[in-house]
Copies of this chain bind each other. A is one copy, B any other.
Amino acid sequence: MARTARLSGFPEWLPAGHVVQASVEETARRVFELHGFAGIETRAVEPLDQMLRKGEIDKEVYVLRRLHADERDADSGLGLHFDLTVPFARYVVEHAGQLEFPFKRYQIQKVWRGERPQDGRFREFTQADIDVVGRDYLPFHYEVEMAVTMATLLAALPIPPAVIQVNNRKLAEGFYRAVGANEPESVLRAIDKLDKIGPEATHRLLVEQAGLSSQAADLCLDLAAIRTADSSFAEQVSALGVTGELLDEGVRELAAVVDGANAERPGSVVADLRIARGLDYYTGTVYETQLIGFESVGSIASGGRYDSLATDGRQTYPGVGISLGVTRLVSILLGNDLVEVSRPVPSAVLVAVLDEVSRERSQRVAAALRSRGIACEVAPSADKLGKQIKYADKRGVPFVWFPDVDGDSVKDIRTGEQTPADANTWDPPEDDRAPQVRSRTDDHRSTTDQEALS
């Protein structure tokens, strides 16, 4: 399927590619709403000082300025948001008086980062986020629900199998402190590099930058090597002989997420103690998601628990969320030809025009079909019928309708079968009503597969 990106990092799809992206977004909306998340949108801009407080990515922010702005312009100091979590935290604090807590919301919007574009990394891309925030308190069980909801969405999409990898910051921090780390965050940052630089270089970082003993560094690497499909990771952690209260709490929470999510969606979640996540604000469960066969592209759905991202000084709004990288996922699907689209246009029917005088008659047929939810278009010109059929064929429109004073007929141009038809009663087969997106690798997956939502 064709994709184009003439301005590097700013992807744009042809209509068939857009069908894929729209169906991913539509499926996300449907799954999120079934789970009780309310949709919102936040503005695309945030005050720079707000965004930069969240650290790490200041150089990636796009700053706005009006072309003929004067010095003291009210818009100066605005930038495009780089994610949907920071704007959501701001929205919650701003509107807290008008919201009910715990507040469950989803948000599907574009974000912008001025990063160097590369495979799977864009400067403009769409994210689909869910978050739950409480006022002062948020029950732990939502950390399970995030994984279940995202696993349900992933199962409903026409994509290769995906696995959500879960870790817990309390577990990591408790372990690092117990082996003698004064700055658990330095340890986390070193472990975050493990995949890229390997265990030896990570060991060096742990000793030299995080100040660990060589033995403690070994233990941290042993911890990061643990990956289990169920809560048996707990025994492996226990076998390392490190103990502590925070560590135990983290182990209990991680076991609850893995077992709880797999009880509802078997095989959807693994415990992976190597998962660090870059962002500072996570305080409990953290999630990353591998698309099997495309691990090198990076996580397609990430998030975690944050206890103090949103606060107005008097109250805090602890939350947990996870975000699907829609553009990254769609670019994998299109770039690797993993899906097929039954047609790039919505029309199920082209209504032929016999001559320009009778165009109105063809329009009445179209209006009758539309009134029953059948997408259609009227031929652009009263060309020879063969040319009109060719026109439909080129677009992938499956049916051509022939108005006739002696009785209309409709032709399936794929089979050539032509039958008498009445625009007030005829229906296309269910699969032909709207463009279908199907996985090329697994016939059972499809965005219209209701059962995948169960």
Hey, which bits of chain A sit against chain B, CB under 8 A?
A: 2, 4, 6-8, 10-15, 18-19, 21-22, 32-45, 47-48, 58-69, 74-75, 78-80, 91, 94-95, 98-100, 102, 104-105, 110, 112, 114, 123-124, 134, 139, 141-142, 263-264, 344-347, 359-360, 363, 367-368, 370-371, 373-377, 380-381, 394-395, 434, 450-451, 453-454
Evaluate whether A64 and B67 lie within 8 angstroms (CB atoms) in the complex, with A36-B347, A75-B114, A377-B104 already known: no
Give the distance in Å from the alpha carbon of A363 to the alpha carbon of B114 in the complex: 42
CB of A95 to closest CB in B, whole Å:
6
Residues of B within 8 A of A454 (CB): 367-368, 370-371
Give the distance in Å from the alpha carbon of A279 to the alpha carbon of B80 in the complex: 28
Q: Which of B13, B79, B100, B110 contacts A40 (CB 8 A)?
A: B13
Inter-subunit contact A15/B44 (CB<8 Å): no
Evaluate whether A68 and B62 lie within 8 angstroms (CB atoms) in the complex, with A105-B15, A264-B367 already known: no
| Interchain residue pairs with CB less than 8 A apart (16) | A2-B98, A4-B94, A11-B43, A12-B43, A13-B41, A14-B40, A22-B39, A32-B346, A35-B370, A43-B124, A62-B64, A62-B67, A65-B65, A66-B114, A367-B454, A373-B453
CB of A199 to closest CB in B, whole Å:
33
Give the distance in Å from the alpha carbon of A10 to the alpha carbon of B381 in the complex: 44
**Counting chain B CB atoms within 10 Å of each CB, which of A43, A124, A263, A450 scores highest?**
A43
Give the distance in Å from the alpha carbon of A149 to the alpha carbon of B352 in the complex: 19
Inter-subunit contact B36/A345 (CB<8 Å): yes
Inter-subunit contact A95/B371 (CB<8 Å): no
**Copies in the assembly, this chain:** 2
CB of A357 to closest CB in B, whole Å:
12
Evaluate whether A36 and B104 lie within 8 angstroms (CB atoms) in the complex, with A12-B91, A14-B98, A65-B62 already known: no
CB of A449 to closest CB in B, whole Å:
12
Give the distance in Å from the alpha carbon of A94 to the alpha carbon of B346 in the complex: 22
Inter-subunit contact B394/A36 (CB<8 Å): no
Q: Which of B18, B114, B374 contacts A38 (CB 8 A)?
A: B18
CB of A60 to closest CB in B, whole Å:
7
Inter-subunit contact B15/A40 (CB<8 Å): yes
Inter-subunit contact B65/A375 (CB<8 Å): no
Closest B residue to A123 by CB, please name it: B75
Inter-subunit contact A371/B58 (CB<8 Å): no
CB of A317 to closest CB in B, whole Å:
14
Closest B residue to A7 by CB, please name it: B43
CB of A413 to closest CB in B, whole Å:
15
CB of A135 to closest CB in B, whole Å:
11
Give the distance in Å from the alpha carbon of A79 to the alpha carbon of B450 in the complex: 42
Evaluate whether A124 and B12 lie within 8 angstroms (CB atoms) in the complex, with A18-B40, A114-B69, A377-B36 already known: no
**Counting chain B CB atoms within 10 Å of each CB, which of A2, A61, A95 scores highest?**
A95
